[in-house]
Structure 1
Amino acid sequence: MTLDKRTHDRTFVRTFFTTPTAEKGVEDSAKKLRSAIELRGMQAPDVWVPDNEDATAPNMRDEGAENIAEVVAESGADFPGEIHPRVVWHRDSPETRYQGFQHMLEIADPENGAIEHIDGFVIPEVGDIDDWKKADEFITIVENEYGLEEGSIAMSVIIESGSAELAMGKLREEMGKADNNLERLFLLVDGEVDYTKDMRAITPTGGLPEWKELRHNTSRAASAAGLISVDGPYDDIRDVEGYHDRITANNAMGMLGIWSLTPGQVVEANKSPLPPATGYWLIDADGREVELESEDGVEVYSGDRIELEEEDGGYELEVGSTEIFCESEEELADELLDLVDYVPSMDDIVDSMEEFEAAKEAGKGAIAMTRAATIEIDGVQVDVSSDRMWDEATYQALMTPVKLFQDVYENRPDQHDDLADLYSEDVVERAIEVGN
């Protein structure tokens, strides 16, 4: 088996959205399931998780399993994403594992009509690699019980313990062995809350540590084993900016998916990894990244952390408490180039891809791409430009956001109109074709 290649139809997952499976004291205990399965467009996740574990009270989980089967049988055919119910499991509790097994049997029973619309199961609280194999074996038993092809039901796990984190390092040597069906693995999902408990971590405020190492390790393990990594829940559901920043930080380490707790978070997480519709310039304003305002083709900084004044014999540039004297506009342009970065739009990326493809077709192995702008600070305008060499490695690295877009377009036809509204039909058509 070639582990570095994806083994499932989806090569990217942006959103992992959980929903309680049963609630007590309401007329229809499956009401939230029925609402979630009707989500469409940018409000619908790539992976929907009817959550029969933490989101559902213990005394409602049997009913929750029945609700999953009923709701998915009724409406699962039209749901635009994948459906992966989460069942109970625990590395230290045979009783809990058995209960999860019974719920899988209920949900997967062909007589209930849901299994043809269910893509896999999410297994929480896994431990060492032998525990992962137990979960895999239970799913294999479910498949054999109902005459399903072995390996046809995917398995995703939630990394909520140190032992599970260490187990990720053993996947390459275990997957593909004759004594397991671990090739069914799909998502590696971080569960920072229970991970914090397992690690006995303490913070002064009682909040969660960032656990950057866990996220890096999960992303690395997913890449090495041909899987997809997903970050855990961001529970401050009103902090859209903080959620976006978390997604951006994750994307930089190859973790393009994140848990979503509300349809609003789903929309943010669905859009954030995609290139923007309009490119923009950023400037490092004394440690704070600030977006410049584009006005009639000029990129304007209007904050108070950077000051620029033209003087006899040169320019005085102040960044925070640092003063820099530049004797010429060329010297000033060099200083500003160290402070600014450009965030390319989808159109910019596709343009660059097409230009490199044309150059490669003409026999050139590398070309220079120029990016230029006029920067204005305190009324002083300066022209800046930089050249970047593009070769095959650069091209392949920058294809990742385009491949993400292509995966979304192929697997989420319900988002076609949203993408056309975001980018225009022309850009969408070119983005689909580039690299193919």
Structure 2
Amino acid sequence: MSYSQHYERSFVRTFFTSPTAVEGKDDSAAMLRRAAQLRGMEAPDVWVPDNEDATAPSMRDEGAENIIDVVSEHGADVPGEIHPRVVWHRDSPETRFQGFQHMLEIADPDRGALEHLDGFVIPEVGDIDDWKKADEFLTIVEREHGLEERRLSMSVIVESGQAELALADLRDEIGKPTNNLERLFLLVDGEVDYTKDMRAITSTGGLPPWPELRHNTSRAASANGLIAVDGPYDDIRDVDGYHERMTDNRMKGMLGIWSLTPGQVIEANESPLPPATGQWLLDVGDRNVELVDTGGRYACEGDDLELTTIGEGTYEVDTGDGVRKLDADELHDTLVELTEYVPSLSDIVDSMEQFEAAKEAGEGAIAMERSATLEIGDVTVSITSDRMWDEATYQAAKTPIDLFQDVYEHRPDQRETLQERYGESVVERAMNVG
């Protein structure tokens, strides 16, 4: 492809929407104003003043004015990017025209918001021709206001089968001289409307998980140099479920998620970052059990794994799927298979620095050793495992470092928190590795 990214962020962890106008309030823009003043881990990477679903239809004209007023006043100090969501619908010319009118108003250089504005979010898109319509409207907005082409980014919300199929068309369309789709920034899933469009039914009335949609969106983002963001997780009290969703997403390459509250913003900002300390896990049945650091040894508390000595060098182990008798070597190999290590930021930096030094010395691959002493019941076992690092392993391990460096560079309001979490020396090394 001949085009290149026009935006600075390579990672977006948080996509936070705020109503633009609330009926019945003395200040209809109060929620918008509060959101604009969030800082640190409470502040999202992308703030979305939401003039669509979060705002009543009767309040949207006032909402557009509120965006202009609040972004003009507070936009210079907002630590993340600002991308208002306007109305749009693949089947409604009237709705598309209203969204176009609001974009014209909000992006007017004489109104004061434009200098702090990064782009717009377009919901309810259809097939690729509909994406081109939105792009054309943005091009017209730019020309009406004398702006450089693609000054405004365009992010879309995938909320229909048509939009999901359009993801596969992007590689053929982006970069053509007949459109400005290079302005694309985020591909955001909207599972609620997607469920409605697919006419899906669940026994509880809840949303299906739609792993295929999230995979397809992440794949399209990877193939086109864009950023994938998951949709809203509306059970805002279910912190564990939110974390589980984000963990599953990260294994698909989707590091960003919609946040509905400042609390969710904090969780989503912190979750993708490497941990401050390493953690040993024991794979028991269908779940991972965290081993407790007891001063250099790692203990399995509880009865998830039963291990007892039945004779000199002979052990009996029960992982929940049957009892096995093992000698010392078999026990070591079994525990190596059952344990996993979650590396800290410092661990990742150490490994990368070792590989970089080896590569400078002319080595193409090296073995990285990891060892630990485990305490399970009355048995203490030392385990050692080796992992071969080559260039491909190095590049894969580099992703969390790339994320950390992106956050540190573009979110100076979070630097103090990062230094407190990891320590200044680790942060400095993480910013220089890779």
TM-score of the alignment, normalized to the shorter chain, above 0.5: yes
Superposed CA RMSD:
0.9
Deviations 1:51-90 (A, max 9, x none): 0000000000000000001100011011110000000000
Q: Does 2:390 align with 1:378?
A: no
Further displaced range: 408-417 or 313-322: 313-322
Q: Does 2:148 align with 1:149?
A: yes
Q: Distance in 2 between matches of 1:73 and 1:374?
A: 58
Query: Are the aligned partners of 1:137 and 1:180 in contact in 2 as well (CA < 8 Å)?
Result: yes
**Letter aligned with residue 324 of structure 1:** R
Match of 1:316 in 2: 316
**Letter aligned with residue 317 of structure 2:** L
Q: Distance in 2 between matches of 1:426 and 1:322?
A: 47
Q: Secondary structure at the match of 1:410?
A: helix
Q: Distance in 2 between matches of 1:56 and 1:298?
A: 54
Q: Secondary structure at the match of 1:97?
A: helix
How far off its partner does 1:296 sit?
1.1
**Letter aligned with residue 300 of structure 1:** A
Match of 1:428 in 2: 427
How far off its partner does 1:379 sit?
2.2
**Letter aligned with residue 13 of structure 1:** V
Q: Distance in 2 between matches of 1:298 and 1:240?
A: 30
How far off its partner does 1:6 sit?
4.1
How far off its partner does 1:95 sit?
0.5
Query: Are the aligned partners of 1:21 and 1:56 in contact in 2 as well (CA < 8 Å)?
Result: yes
Q: How many residues align?
A: 433
Q: Distance in 1 between matches of 2:321 and 2:104?
A: 66
Within a 5 Å distance, the mapping from 1:235-384 to structure 2 comes to 235-313=234-312, 314-327=314-327, 329-384=328-383
Query: Are the aligned partners of 1:286 and 1:306 in contact in 2 as well (CA < 8 Å)?
Result: no
Match of 2:394 in 1: 395
Q: Distance in 2 between matches of 1:157 and 1:91?
A: 12
Q: Distance in 2 between matches of 1:177 and 1:47?
A: 28
Query: Are the aligned partners of 2:2 and 2:175 in contact in 1 as well (CA < 8 Å)?
Result: no
Within a 5 Å distance, the mapping from 1:27-46 to structure 2 comes to 27-46=26-45
Deviations 1:307-340 (A, max 9, x none): 000011500000113211102x221010111111
Q: Distance in 2 between matches of 1:418 and 1:322?
A: 46
Deviations 1:82-121 (A, max 9, x none): 0000000000000000010011011111111001100000
Q: Which runs of 5+ in 2 are unaligned?
A: none
Match of 2:164 in 1: 165
Q: Distance in 1 between matches of 2:360 and 2:321?
A: 50
Q: Distance in 2 between matches of 1:2 and 1:240?
A: 42
Q: Distance in 2 between matches of 1:245 and 1:47?
A: 22
Query: Are the aligned partners of 1:7 and 1:226 in contact in 2 as well (CA < 8 Å)?
Result: no
Query: Are the aligned partners of 1:105 and 1:142 in contact in 2 as well (CA < 8 Å)?
Result: yes
Query: Are the aligned partners of 1:42 and 1:415 in contact in 2 as well (CA < 8 Å)?
Result: yes
Q: Secondary structure at the match of 1:316?
A: strand
Q: Distance in 2 between matches of 1:432 and 1:286?
A: 38
**Letter aligned with residue 61 of structure 1:** R
Query: Are the aligned partners of 2:282 and 2:340 in contact in 1 as well (CA < 8 Å)?
Result: yes
Q: Distance in 2 between matches of 1:151 and 1:61?
A: 25
Query: Are the aligned partners of 1:300 and 1:375 in contact in 2 as well (CA < 8 Å)?
Result: yes
Q: Secondary structure at the match of 1:338?
A: helix
Query: Are the aligned partners of 2:5 and 2:182 in contact in 1 as well (CA < 8 Å)?
Result: no
